[in-house]
Amino acid sequence: MKKHNFSAGPCILPQDVLKKASEAVLNFNGLDLSLIEISHRSKEFVEVMENARNLVKELLNVPNGYSVLFLQGGASLEFLMTAYNLLKVDGKAAYLDTGAWAAKALKEAKLLGEIDVVASSKDKTYNYIPKNYAIPADVDYFHCTSNNTIYGTQIKEFPKTDSLLVCDMSSDIFSKQIDVSKFDLIYAGAQKNMGPAGTTLVIVKDSILGKTGRKIPSMLDYQVHINKDSMFNTPPVFPVYVSMLTLQWLKDLGGVAAIEKINEEKAALLYAEIDRNPLFKGFAEVEDRSLMNVTFNLTNEEDKEAFDKIWNAAGISGIKGHRSVGGYRASIYNAMPIESIQVLVNAMQQLEK
């Protein structure tokens, strides 16, 4: 029996994608060779990279003038690359502090310039998204994190700003429609809605690059990777391939508009139970609730043993909350079927009885 996998990431991927990925490890495209033992410069793998890139463009309706890259190092390396590529010598950048990952992003940028933290929700363990903050006019860029996995908060409306808009979308990209033209740089570790750990998606507006006055090391320079179609060095072949499969799965399902509707239904089902059931309470402020990571606590901690027994018996895995928040976190990414969420809701109702 397949588990109900609520892991925060790496996380559930479509079963059909796992099956195809498993086959390609043995025999890729009928070549009688494994996907992971062929040259990344072979016709067959170059095609994988192109397909993956084109699927991103199609699914997110990426306008002309933007490049799509598949890199390594996760969002953590992007924290540094953002600053290297966009923060001018003696420049300044603005950051919104909505959690541990946002804080890590600005920590790396501080090595290269002055950082203005325009607002923070640290005062309430990041259980809300700050609003009505001012972004200084003289910054090189503004950086925010669209979805905060640990706390279960999500930005519903991005700020209007004249400066460059940079967003870490690691945990909600491809889950809902976005207007890419409003952003200058988007990045996302693959391991939520796109694929396995080991590759990072970058969508960057070409015209913003090359303006910092810095010498950028090759591996940290977006322009270098753009010039080489993400093949400046050997790319992470398997993670890119599985990302391509997952994006194709999403396209076949009807694309981002279709999954957005499903994601809204899934989240509504779980939040409704949290709000109805007196034994549970939500962690995040209602208006900032994430559609990807649903965080909640027991009203009475004494129920913990009983509840843990119930969901374990139901075949649920990965709902333990992050240590900084406690309680529970149900990550309900694109590949999570609503049936699994119903199993969790049933477990919550069983505790009530």
Footprint on this chain of a copy of itself (rule: CB under 8 A): 1-3, 5, 7-13, 18-19, 21-23, 25-26, 31-34, 36-40, 72-77, 79-80, 104, 107-108, 111, 189, 191, 196-199, 215, 217-220, 232-239, 242, 317-318
Q: How far is the CB of 352 from a copy of itself (least distance, A)?
A: 28
Single out the catalytic residue among 168, 172, 184, 288.
Answer: 168
215 assigned to active site: no
Using CA atoms, how far apart are residues 255 and 248, in angstroms rounded to an integer? 9
Single out the catalytic residue among 101, 176, 205, 221.
Answer: 101
Q: How far is the CB of 180 from a copy of itself (least distance, A)?
A: 25
SS (H, E, C) 290-327: CCCEEEEEECCHHHHHHHHHHHHHCCEECCECCCCCCC
Using CA atoms, how far apart are residues 127 and 130, in angstroms rounded to an integer? 10
SS (H, E, C) 218-259: HHHCHHHHHHCCCCCCCCCHHHHHHHHHHHHHHHHHCHHHHH
Q: Which is nearer to a copy of itself, 65 or 210 (CB)?
A: 210
Q: How far is the CB of 175 from a copy of itself (least distance, A)?
A: 17
104 assigned to active site: no
- Bridge partners, residue 119, by sequence: 96
Q: Which is nearer to a copy of itself, 57 or 315 (CB)?
A: 315
Q: Which is nearer to a copy of itself, 100 or 310 (CB)?
A: 100
Return left, alpha or beta for 169; rule: phi > 0 is left, psi -120 to 50 is alpha, else beta. Answer: alpha
Using CA atoms, how far apart are residues 6 and 193, in angstroms rounded to an integer? 13
Q: Which is nearer to a copy of itself, 82 or 161 (CB)?
A: 82
List the one residue out of 13, 12, 9 whose CA is nearest residue 150.
9
**Contact indicator for 106, 117 with CB cutoff of 8 Å:** yes
Q: Which is nearer to a copy of itself, 234 or 299 (CB)?
A: 234
**Contact indicator for 9, 191 with CB cutoff of 8 Å:** yes
Side-chain-side CA neighbours of 4 within 13 Å: the count stands at 21
Single out the catalytic residue among 97, 172, 192, 288.
Answer: 192
Q: How far is the CB of 339 from a copy of itself (least distance, A)?
A: 16
311 assigned to active site: no
Structural element, H or E, at residue 191: none
Q: How far is the CB of 35 from a copy of itself (least distance, A)?
A: 8
Active-site amino acid positions: 101, 168, 192
